[in-house]
Amino acid sequence: MSDLPSIFGSTVATFAVVYSTATMVFVYTVARQHFPQHLVDGVEKYGRKLVNFAFPYSQITFPEFTDAYMRRSEAFTAIQNYLSEKSSASANRLKADALKDSRSLVLSMDYNEEIADEFDGIKVWWTSNRNIPRSMQISLYPAVDEKYYKLTFHNRHKKHIIESYLPKVMEDGKAIGQVNRLRKLYSNNPSKHWNGFNPKWSHVAFEHPASFDTLAMAAKRKDEIINDLNAFKEGKEDYERIGKPWKRGYLLSGPPGTGKSTMIAAMANYLQYDVYDLELTTIKDNTELRRLLIDTSSKSILVIEDIDCSLDIMNERESKKRKIKEDDDLDPISKEVKKETEETTESKVTLSGVLNCIDGLWSSCGGERIIVFTTNYPEKLDQALIRRGRMDKYIEMSYCCFEAFKVLAKNYLKIDSHLLFAEIGELLGKTNMTPADVAENLIPVFRDENVETRMNRLIEALKAAKEGEGEGEGASRPKEKRKRGCNIRINKREKRNIR
Ligand SMILES: Nc1ncnc2c1ncn2[C@@H]1O[C@H](COP(=O)(O)OP(=O)(O)OP(=O)(O)O)[C@@H](O)[C@H]1O
Ligand SMILES: [Mg+2]
């Protein structure tokens, strides 16, 4: 029985335990009737020693449900994830479960299977089992099997198992669950609908296919962003050491169709994070904003798109001045009506409210969060928003360069090179066209449309855009805004502020 619990070992042990326990119960019952209390206590103490001698192993049970409301125990789920990898290698009979919020099947050992695990040279055994409900109680919840995992280990390792092994199992299990889980895209509900049944955020599965492989941009800039994300993800200890909340702010700017939203999706997929898409216009005031932000989880990206036009918060001071002047021109009744309309329809979220919430939230509610603001007009942004330490990285996305086109050609045409590439490259160097417009021309108009036709369509579109720009009329992009050569650039401020 030294290195034991296989099912057979357990059976022998169980027999030994049952036998010694039965003997003890008999002796104890007789002793209680005929002998004084101190002798009875002695019998009990030695009885326990005898049982321990016959089976010097401790067992911990982890039931699936924590309470009568059938809430799934976090520990059970973590163990299931932890054991899923080990059981698929060593257990003979496996069970496949489609866990809630998991995107793949989780394989776990079937009932009465046992697998051994080793930790710091200590052997432990996990078994899976279930209690079949026998009671006929009337309950709101249907009777279901109570599954449980049982961990068996030698008594002498109890402390180490409880203090070191089990926390490791929980941590590893949660990490596996994190990778397997179905990620979510949350959007905030209008506050008038918030109540016990309607939460602040609704969610759908986040299934955006964008990745850094399919994102059209220069490889060097792509690597730079990926390295930045890696440094953030692996930087927990660094952030702790310097006493900074574990968060990072990105500001994505660029004309419509340059890939800002696609970049956010690629980031979320790369980091395996959830996405919270915060619509500022539906939020009544700063208090509501704070309540929403506090209700977000870690390992997430909070996105505020088009920050410059979500609300008139950028030029708060300016708009206040304008409003006072406008109000002065109105008669008292119109003033009252205007005030009422504004009170019911206008959001009172302010820039300082957004900033305070963001800083306050990240500092107080756990870590591993990224916040991304997007804008088409970076020049409109208030300095307070983009000050050092608030927005850590500024990424300017701009029109399609040749390198970005090659990525799109690979995605859409499945080619790495072609004779027409040279002409396209030359035209892209002289014309402003967004990756979205380039992609649009590369999509087949009908099934099996050939590659040349699609590239020729792009060439025509580029020529037309160039002519448009030249004439000034109908020009797709203003000349002074041209940024060619690469669709991602870092400006001087970023170079200064960002590591
Ligand atoms: N850099 C890019 N790489 C790959 N695809 C892109 C890129 N930019 C744009 N696209 C394509 O164009 C579509 C629109 O892009 P996206 O929504 O990301 O632009 P945006 O910058 O967020 O625009 P807006 O400012 O209007 O929100 C995407 O669905 C994608 O197919
Ligand atoms: Mg967008």
Whether 375 lines ligand 1, by a CB cut-off of 6 Å, is: no
pLDDT at 322: 59
Kindly give, in sequence order, each residue whose CB lies less than 8 Å from that of residue 1, ignoring residues fewer than 6 positions away. Answer: 9, 12, 13, 55, 56
127 touches ligand 1 (CB under 6 Å): no
Shortest CA distance to 458 belongs to which of 429, 420, 430, 495?
420
Res. 4: pLDDT tops 60:
no
Among protein residues, the one with the nearest Cα to ligand 1's atom 7 is 259
Pocket test for ligand 1, best of 262, 376, 407 (most atoms within 8 A of CB): 262
Is 374 strand, coil or helix? strand
**For range 330-334, the mean pLDDT:** 71
Span of 62-66, 246-250, 420-424 with lowest mean pLDDT: 62-66
Secondary structure of residue 238 in the 3-state scheme: helix
Res. 37: pLDDT tops 80: no
Rounded distance from Cα 159 to ligand 1 centre (Å): 55
| Predicted complex ipTM | 0.99
The pLDDT of residue 149 is above 70: yes
Residues 268-296, mean pLDDT to the nearest whole number:
89
Q: Please report the pLDDT score of residue 52 as a whole number.
A: 66
Whole-number pLDDT of residue 88: 67
Helices 260-271 and 219-233: angle between axes, nearest 10 degrees: 40
The Cα-based distances of 322 to 228, 269, 293, 327 in angstroms read 41, 43, 31, 9
What pLDDT does 458 receive? 96
Do 152 and 5 touch, CB atoms closer than 8 A? Answer: yes
Segment of 92-96, 175-179, 199-203, 399-403 carrying the highest mean pLDDT:
399-403
Q: What is the pLDDT of residue 343?
A: 52
Question: Residue 259: its pLDDT value, please?
Answer: 95
Nearest ligand 1 atom, CA 305: 27
Of 4 and 413, the one with more pLDDT: 413
The one-character DSSP state at 214 is: T
DSSP E strand boundaries for 155-283: 184-188, 201-205, 247-253, 274-277
pLDDT tens-place string over residues 360-392: 665 556 678 999 999 998 888 877 777 766 788
Using 50, 70 and 90 to split pLDDT, how confident is the model at 8? very low
Instruction: Report how far apart, in Å, the C-alpha atoms of 303 and of each of 186, 219, 346 are.
Output: 10, 24, 21
Average pLDDT over residues 55-69: 82
Say if ligand 1 is within 6 A of residue 216 CB.
Answer: yes
Taking the C-alpha atoms of residue 6 and residue 365, their distance in angstroms, rounded to an integer, is: 45
**CA–centroid distance, residue 208 to ligand 2 (Å):** 13
Q: Is the CB–ligand 1 distance for residue 249 below 6 Å?
A: no
H helix or E strand, kind and range, residue 221: helix 219-233
- The whole-chain average pLDDT of the chain stands at 79
Q: What is the share, in percent, of the chain residues with pLDDT greater than 70?
A: 68
Task: Calculate how far, in angstroms, residue 258's C-alpha sits from the geometric centre of ligand 1.
Answer: 5
* Model confidence at 23: pLDDT above 90: no
Name residues whose C-beta falls within 8 Å of residue 31's C-beta, 6 or more positions apart in sequence.
39, 40, 43
> Does the beta carbon of 81 sit less than 6 angstroms from any atom of ligand 1?
no
* Residue bearing the CA closest to ligand 1, atom 10: 436
Is the C-beta atom of 409 inside 6 A of ligand 1?
no
Q: Which ligand is nearest to the CA of 263?
A: 1
Q: Is the CB of 262 under 6 A from ligand 1?
A: yes
CB 370 within 8 A of CB 225: no
Please tell me the predicted confidence (pLDDT) of residue 334.
72
pLDDT digits (tens, 9 = 90+) for 187-202: 999 888 887 777 889 9
Q: Which of 17-21, 45-49, 168-172, 198-202 ranks highest by mean pLDDT?
A: 168-172
pLDDT above 80 (res 283): yes
Q: Is the pLDDT confidence value at 58 over 50? A: yes
Alpha helices for 347-450 (secondary structure H): 351-364, 402-413, 421-430, 435-442
Instruction: Give the closest residue (by CA) to ligand 1 atom 14.
Output: 257
The structure tokens 């002289």 sit at 430
What average pLDDT does the segment 111-119 reach? 86
Whether residue 6 has pLDDT greater than 60: no
211 to 206, 266, 340, 496: CA distances (angstroms): 13, 4, 47, 28
pLDDT digits (tens, 9 = 90+) for 444-485: 998 888 999 999 999 999 999 988 776 544 334 433 343 443
Find which of 190-194, 242-246, 259-263, 309-313 is predicted with most confidence, using mean pLDDT: 259-263
